[in-house]
Structure 1
Amino acid sequence: MKLGRHSVLRLFAFLLISLAAWSLGYFVAAHVPQSTVSIAALQEIGKKPVLRAPAPKRQKCDHWSPCPPGNFAYRILSGGGKERTATICFEDEQLVGEPGSGINIAIVNYKTGEFSSTNFFHMWAHDHSKQMMDFIRSAPKGTLLLMATQDDGSTRLKDYAKELVENLGSKEIKNIKFRSSWVFIAAKGFNLPDNIQREKINHSDQTKNRYKGWPAEIQIEGCIPRNLM
């Protein structure tokens, strides 16, 4: 049986393509290094790309989630043991870089969010209750006061100083004991929202084994609206 003209052309084209494919395979096998072409590499070509979640963006004062627009971020961490010092952060600025033993206090201008001053008041070897009261009273209206203990802040703390802090809104200052971990945020001249975390205390014996007789550190953090005044 004779083949038609079109059949002959198709056969010729098939043979030509087969020859080209064989030549290309021979060329790759002969000239391309074996390490660059592997079955594993060819398998990777057919795989779908793996989508990886981006690393979480760091938030102000190490919050897990950002504060809403128009809010200040704060985080107050007490000391824990001899090595873990107290830290006070406001709008991502560390206000207490080298905290002192006793009660650490930082003052912030609420209208601008700018740091005003900081101090610490030793309450073990000496009584600095009056100096602490003078420092608190020197803060003008429209300021925030952020407080954290480092080591002992209670042994020589006088009742009249506790009453001053209580008048700022503290509910735990009169419960503070030897080496209690205590953190607190207060406002002068305006009221903070009821839903923000303002204070925390820890003097539980159950946590003292962590730091050989010292209570564990505690912290509070949150967001404060800028339009409270």
Structure 2
Amino acid sequence: MMWLRQKSPVPKRQKCDHWSPCSPGNYAYRILSGGGKAKLARICFEDEMLISEEKGNVGRGINIAIVNYKTGKVTSTKYFDMWKGDHSGEMLTFIKNAPEGSLLLMVTHDDGSTRLKNDTKKLVEELGSKEIQNIKFRSSWAFIAAKGFKLPDDIQKEKINHSDKKKNRYRGWPAEIQIEGCIPRNLI
């Protein structure tokens, strides 16, 4: 008797390339920091790339996407170069101008700390960051926050990596990190 070999079905692709789908009534997100010189930061929300090299809206420093929580649609994206020029004040204004009821998704590429001033760090800390005060030269950092409402305690909101950059695969450049999760759509 001859046994037939059956191929396993190809797994269905999930939103933002999650391994498993978010439950109905949830938003999917994935925030990836840059890695090395060439691997740029990316922010995906509900299977839409909000910030990416392909969109041409990613850069050195801190990259931020603002999403209207009720509609799930991006309202604004911008990056703030914290190595060249003084953009910390612009970042502070950008965050302050985000409407109540917004999600803020933030991620670094290369250096997000050199010219990041204390008042901007304090504002990000007030949004719930526990690591913004610890960000160092070329730290990899990813963060999601809510403005005007509270995110569930059981989702991953932040990650930072200060690994020994001399020993990682990018030889002196930061290694990439990511956070991903599902956010209920009924928080406000």
Fold agreement, TM-score > 0.5 = yes
The match for 1:196 among 138, 141, 155 is 155
Q: 1:49, CA displacement in angstroms?
A: 3.3
Give the partner amino acid of 2:40: T
Cα RMSD between the aligned structures? 1.2
The match for 1:226 among 163, 185, 188 is 185
Which structure has more relative contact order (CA 8 Å, sep 6+)? It is 2
Corresponding residue number in structure 1 for 2:117: 158
Report the secondary structure of 1:161's partner residue.
Answer: helix
Query: d(CA) in 2 for partners of 1:59 and 1:112?
Result: 20
Q: Tell me the percent identity.
A: 71
Corresponding residue number in structure 1 for 2:127: 168
Query: d(CA) in 2 for partners of 1:157 and 1:77?
Result: 20
Q: 1:205 to 1:122 in 2, by over 3 A?
A: same
Corresponding residue number in structure 2 for 1:11: none
Asked whether the equivalents of residues 208 and 215 of structure 1 are also in contact (C-alpha less than 8 Å), the reply is: no
Asked whether the equivalents of residues 80 and 87 of structure 2 are also in contact (C-alpha less than 8 Å), the reply is: yes
The match for 1:69 among 24, 43, 53 is 24
199-208 or 120-129, larger mean C-alpha shift? 199-208
Asked whether the equivalents of residues 208 and 214 of structure 1 are also in contact (C-alpha less than 8 Å), the reply is: no
TM-score, length-scaled by structure 2:
0.95
Report the secondary structure of 2:37's partner residue.
Answer: coil
Query: d(CA) in 1 for partners of 2:186 and 2:34?
Result: 31
Corresponding residue number in structure 2 for 1:122: 81
Number of residues of Structure 1 aligned to a counterpart in Structure 2 = 184
Q: 1:208 to 1:106 in 2, by over 3 A?
A: farther
Runs of 4+ in 1 over 4 A off after TM superposition: none
Matched, 1:186 2:145: yes
Q: 1:212, CA displacement in angstroms?
A: 1.0
Matched, 1:144 2:99: no
Matched, 1:49 2:8: no
Query: d(CA) in 1 for partners of 2:165 and 2:112?
Result: 20
Larger radius of gyration: 1
TM-score, length-scaled by structure 1:
0.78
* Structure 2, gaps ≥5 residues long: none
